[in-house]
Structure 1
Amino acid sequence: MKLTAIAAVARLSVGLTLGAAAAAALAQEAPKYGGTLDVATTNTAVTTLSWDLADWQATLQTRDTGQFYEQLFAVDLTKAKSRGGKYSFTIGGWQPTDAIRGELAETWNWTTPLTLEIKLRKGVKFPAKQGVMAERELVADDVVYSFNRMNTSAKRTQGYYDHVDKVEAKDKHTVVFTFNKFIADWDYRFGNGFFSGIMPKEVADAGAGNWKNVNGTGPFMLTNVVQGNSLTFSKNPVYWDKDVIGGKEYKLPFVDRVVHRVIKDETTQHAALRTGKLDILSSISAEAARELKKSTPELKWNRWLTTTANRVALRVDTKPFNDVRVRRALNMAVNKQEIIDKYYNGEAEMFTFPMHPEYVGYHQPLKEQPASVQELFKYDPAKAKKLLADAGYANGFSFKMQVCTCNPDQMELMPLVAAYLEGVGVKMEIVPMEYGAHLSAMTSHTNAAGYLTGIPDVNPTTSLRINFGKGQVYNAPMMDDPKLDARVAEANGERDEKKRQQMLREMTTYVLDQAPAIWMPAPYRYTAWWPWVKNYGGEMFVGAGRFAPIHARIWIDQDLKKKMGY
């Protein structure tokens, strides 16, 4: 992409949008069993860092362990747009209230304001795993064990389970959570979040960090790992779930195997899709999508707005970024509208973080924000220079900014940002880092004064806490604001959602005004798949980073694939 080119705004078609009639027609096709589903995920360039849930890794671990470690809740895929519903299910960590489905949980209810009782599905089984465990039923003790193991881990996220006094097995299939206070995202914390997988004790005893030992109740079993190349998941023969298609009930999963391809180079990803080596490619830039639509017109498409908006976190505990004037100046020095128009060719939105536009009721549009927030998104180098001079940096300064080599878009975008900053006398030295080192720098709070992050907002009740709360793992700006922490905690304890939404909107405005990062536009991305991939409409997540139930419902039309020459 030539950054200096004056490109006209060229928006692609939204792609496949199935209404109720189309979904009904789709439902008449009879599923076919067998075959392999080859996929490249939204973060296909990097591999899992740990298989042990108690290591408290996030997105990538859940992406892969989520194929076999199930959770208490997921989403109801019958409410997807491709099935006649209203949800796209492209948001990684938020499940709409009216679309939550019990996964391992069959029913749940509050028996008192602080006591939650969950009835587990009966007959859900862990498959036999040689050298690890015999086939057996999931029971309440497994949920209790998983919770206690996560809560006592030395690597646990600070304060994550502080709202829970105890978790007990009332009987074989009933789990009781006793809270010491209500929090609005209770279902996310230990139900459908990044740290919610249910793992049997036998796996921990055998060694949970060894991929050969992992075993869960999900639709697939991990059967092979080729480091840096692929992960192979085979059908769980005793999987419990079913799908109703055309009025008939079918046992899941349909495919025999799912293979996650690890492909670092985007050009190679696109070539693998074009040649049919990939059935689904989940994250494609708008520019690449335009070319693929020309070269491979048979592909089906879905367009979605990323929740991982780029932003250069500025450590507020480090000079010169301990001065809010400097942080605001850097925001005004970057021409964000030009980035949208020329870099993204119009395929981006200005304001999506820390409350994504799809969080209805929680997101307050930029035009409704106060002038002090709006000016952070306007290009004003003259005012930026004045703010820098007022802060004692009339001659500018230099700082290091760490970026992950795993994200080609970020690697290409940052030199442009650096050029804008040079225009006001600030030199940003870009420090490329491999994924593991880059993530470790933030989670250990040893990141540089500047740190490029795209940690998602996750969900509306979690975003402010995890990204800006004192001591939080993903708080790259190192904010330490008692007022913010107290108000966010108060909002999360509010049972009335309307009141909670208002409180979080106010705190979002407060954080934006503090400018602990250079706020950047968020691009649209595209998912593409071949017509032989059936019962699929571009859905990506059923919980935080998980998509196993989506893959379990896909079947491959082998006859169509052969007819198309693949």
Structure 2
Amino acid sequence: MTTKEGRGLNWITSARIASVALAGLALAGAAGPACAQAEAPKYGGSVEVGSMYPTVSALSWDLADWNWKQNYDTGQVYEQLFVADLSKARRNGGKYPFVADAWLPEDAIRGELAESWKWLDPLTLEVKLRKGVRFPAKPGVMPERELVAEDVVFSYERQNGSAKRIPTYFDHVAKVEALDKHTVLFRFKEFNAEWDYRFGWGYYSGIMPKEVATAGAGNWKNVNGSGPFVLSSFVQGNAGTYTKNTLYWDSERIGGKDYKLPFVDKLVIRTVKDEATRNTMLRTGKLDIAENVRWTAVEELKKSAPALKWSRWLSTNGQYLAMRVDAKPFNDLRVRRALNMAVNKQEIVKQFYGGNAELFAYPQHPDYVGYFEPLSAMPEPVKELFTYNPDKARKLLAEAGYPKGFSFKVQVCACDPNHMELLPLIGAYLEQVGVRIEIQPMEYGAFLSAMTTRTNAPGYLMSNGHTNPTTTIRKSFVVGQVWNASQWGNPKFEQRVNDAFRLRDVGRRQEALRALTREVLEDAPYIWLPTPYQYTAWWPWVKNYEGELRAGAVRPGPIYARLWIDQEMKKKMGF
């Protein structure tokens, strides 16, 4: 059974479905697809991007370090087997905005390093690699050479052998082997609904030459891949600069003609911690694109820089205050439910976010059609957690043995201005029922380490990527998983999660995930918080772009490769 490139990667359809919910988040001020395709691209120049993660610099350049941000920083350089089919973007007349952090609908995936693939049997996948894909020469690291099947095998085995790997992540894979120079065989122990995401286009899917590992993969100066750009400089906390890879193999079809990629000579991704400075850089044209603008700044920027183009999208990060269920007082369900009822979430949406948020959008995102259920469809015990009821909160606390409340520490990332402002408000609500919080701001590295080493405080305020409808349940609610800050879980639930991943039938898998989601919502390991809307802004001289953000798992590289800068327009506009 052979799949067609760009038509999904399924034996029996993988867990990807077209997202109709995104249709409501139309891109404001975007040019129509006919306009986007009418212009011939212009080569040269540079593009300055305000990072999607403006306060977090590169965490590591070594793919075996398993850091969630590696595709954002290295995805311009390291390619993967599969990638988003950007011809299906809205600017091209398609239906996808490509903003989800790690959710590619099955009809919007194409081969990147994989030229074709087919299932030889239900547990054996054959992948044919593109011929002629080249790694550029890197002085002191490697000479120029062709990418071959052994590079795929090496990359998989290095990831799988890493001490930092996510537990169980590749447990469904029996073996990956090179049959010949351009053929890779994946042998599976069992079906896994995320097989294509796990080592095809996901967070930990980059293909790296062995020479980089030998030279030292953690040193940015050694980074070298087959992608559209070469990493030419990096300044921690400031910027990563990428220059055109003249050996890059891919092209873009525009107006019926193929054009060699990338179009720009240089790409600069800026990390600017101060929000006011970022907004000033955007307004004055020092940034061509700001991938993440908080809603509080939008109206002023629209007034001061009316030529900016905008997209509005519901955040792909869920927000919550995790409560560690492995210790008192949060091992008591009554306490966890009480704290949820003590926080006026409707008021947070209206007052704190000015209406720019949704009350109920985690752990499933509204985009995940078939998996997401609205709050109105939830059982009453779930609805109750989103209803402000301080009187019942006090009653539950008294029943649990805390009539006078208690105090606990909450860790928060100092790099997140939204959370630094939101947490005192949550604390004020909790104080009304006798619960006091001690706020501990932390720098990102220490904050992340506290969770990954399971030494985080009893309270932990965080944003967590939805990822996709299956991963969001596995990573957040299975004991031992890295992103399970509450340490919540039970063996029966975990078995049902594993069973859901083995289901080949999409309808049955969706039903199973809906049931698991309802169960974990009701058990309240988190104080469930609203999900805000976010904005992306760009100047009209940025062409072949309409706010797309990810072409895989937090990976923008293929998007950057396809945009160009109309330098004449920029000059005429006074920049």
TM-score when normalising by structure 2: 0.95
Looking at structure 2, the residues matched to 247 and 395 of structure 1 have their Cα atoms a distance apart, in angstroms, of: 72
The answer as to whether partners of 1:50 and 1:57 remain within 8 angstroms in 2 is yes
Structure 2: give runs of 5+ residues left out of the alignment: 1-23
State the partner residue of 2:382: 373
- How far residue 470 of structure 1 moved from its aligned partner, in angstroms, is 1.2
State the partner residue of 1:119: 128
For 2:57, which of 47, 53, 57 is the aligned residue?
Answer: 47
The answer as to whether partners of 1:17 and 1:82 remain within 8 angstroms in 2 is no
Counterparts of 1:58-457 in structure 2, within 5 Å, are 58=68, 60-457=69-466
Q: Aligned Cα RMSD in Å? A: 1.1
Looking at structure 1, the residues matched to 39 and 412 of structure 2 have their Cα atoms a distance apart, in angstroms, of: 46
State the partner residue of 1:3: none
Runs of 4+ in 1 over 2 A off after TM superposition: 12-19
For 1:16, which of 11, 19, 28 is the aligned residue?
Answer: 28
The answer as to whether partners of 2:25 and 2:313 remain within 8 angstroms in 1 is no
State the partner residue of 2:553: 544
- How far residue 17 of structure 1 moved from its aligned partner, in angstroms, is 6.3
- How far residue 227 of structure 1 moved from its aligned partner, in angstroms, is 1.5
Q: Could you give the per-residue CA deviations for residues 455-500 of structure 1, whole angstroms, max 9, x where no partner exists?
A: 1110011111011111001110001311211111111110000000
Looking at structure 1, the residues matched to 472 and 179 of structure 2 have their Cα atoms a distance apart, in angstroms, of: 33
- How far residue 24 of structure 1 moved from its aligned partner, in angstroms, is 1.7
State the partner residue of 1:459: 468
The answer as to whether partners of 2:44 and 2:265 remain within 8 angstroms in 1 is yes
Q: Which amino acid aligns with 1:459?
A: N
The answer as to whether partners of 1:37 and 1:258 remain within 8 angstroms in 2 is yes
For 1:31, which of 12, 25, 41 is the aligned residue?
Answer: 41
Q: Could you give the per-residue CA deviations for residues 331-356 of structure 1, whole angstroms, max 9, x where no partner exists?
A: 00000000000111111001111110
The answer as to whether partners of 2:282 and 2:288 remain within 8 angstroms in 1 is yes
Change (3 A) 1:13 1:187: closer
- How far residue 64 of structure 1 moved from its aligned partner, in angstroms, is 0.4
State the partner residue of 1:5: none
Q: Which amino acid aligns with 1:199?
A: M
The answer as to whether partners of 2:415 and 2:443 remain within 8 angstroms in 1 is yes
Q: Could you give the per-residue CA deviations for residues 24-82 of structure 1, whole angstroms, max 9, x where no partner exists?
A: 22211010001111001221211112111111111x22210111011111111011111
Q: Which amino acid aligns with 1:548?
A: G
For 2:518, which of 506, 509, 512 is the aligned residue?
Answer: 509
Q: Which amino acid aligns with 1:331?
A: N
**How many correspondences in the alignment?**
552
- How far residue 18 of structure 1 moved from its aligned partner, in angstroms, is 5.0
State the partner residue of 2:14: none
Looking at structure 2, the residues matched to 26 and 204 of structure 1 have their Cα atoms a distance apart, in angstroms, of: 41
SS at match of 1:309: strand
Looking at structure 1, the residues matched to 27 and 168 of structure 2 have their Cα atoms a distance apart, in angstroms, of: 42
Looking at structure 1, the residues matched to 135 and 233 of structure 2 have their Cα atoms a distance apart, in angstroms, of: 19
Looking at structure 1, the residues matched to 459 and 574 of structure 2 have their Cα atoms a distance apart, in angstroms, of: 49
The share of aligned pairs that are identical, in percent, is: 61
- How far residue 16 of structure 1 moved from its aligned partner, in angstroms, is 2.9
Change (3 A) 1:369 1:119: same
- How far residue 203 of structure 1 moved from its aligned partner, in angstroms, is 0.1
The answer as to whether partners of 1:307 and 1:352 remain within 8 angstroms in 2 is no
The answer as to whether partners of 2:80 and 2:112 remain within 8 angstroms in 1 is yes
TM-score when normalising by structure 1: 0.96
Looking at structure 1, the residues matched to 418 and 559 of structure 2 have their Cα atoms a distance apart, in angstroms, of: 27
The answer as to whether partners of 2:30 and 2:309 remain within 8 angstroms in 1 is no
Q: Which amino acid aligns with 2:258?
A: E
Structure 1: give runs of 5+ residues left out of the alignment: 1-11
Looking at structure 2, the residues matched to 388 and 113 of structure 1 have their Cα atoms a distance apart, in angstroms, of: 52
SS at match of 1:454: strand
The answer as to whether partners of 2:76 and 2:227 remain within 8 angstroms in 1 is yes
Q: Could you give the per-residue CA deviations for residues 201-220 of structure 1, whole angstroms, max 9, x where no partner exists?
A: 00000000100001001111
Looking at structure 1, the residues matched to 27 and 181 of structure 2 have their Cα atoms a distance apart, in angstroms, of: 47
Looking at structure 2, the residues matched to 152 and 314 of structure 1 have their Cα atoms a distance apart, in angstroms, of: 32
- How far residue 452 of structure 1 moved from its aligned partner, in angstroms, is 1.0
The answer as to whether partners of 1:221 and 1:234 remain within 8 angstroms in 2 is yes
Looking at structure 2, the residues matched to 474 and 117 of structure 1 have their Cα atoms a distance apart, in angstroms, of: 32
SS at match of 2:473: helix
SS at match of 1:129: coil
Change (3 A) 1:144 1:17: farther
Q: Could you give the per-residue CA deviations for residues 107-147 of structure 1, whole angstroms, max 9, x where no partner exists?
A: 11211110011111111111111111111111110000000
Q: Which amino acid aligns with 1:48?
A: A
Looking at structure 2, the residues matched to 305 and 107 of structure 1 have their Cα atoms a distance apart, in angstroms, of: 34
Looking at structure 1, the residues matched to 100 and 493 of structure 2 have their Cα atoms a distance apart, in angstroms, of: 25
Looking at structure 2, the residues matched to 441 and 170 of structure 1 have their Cα atoms a distance apart, in angstroms, of: 43
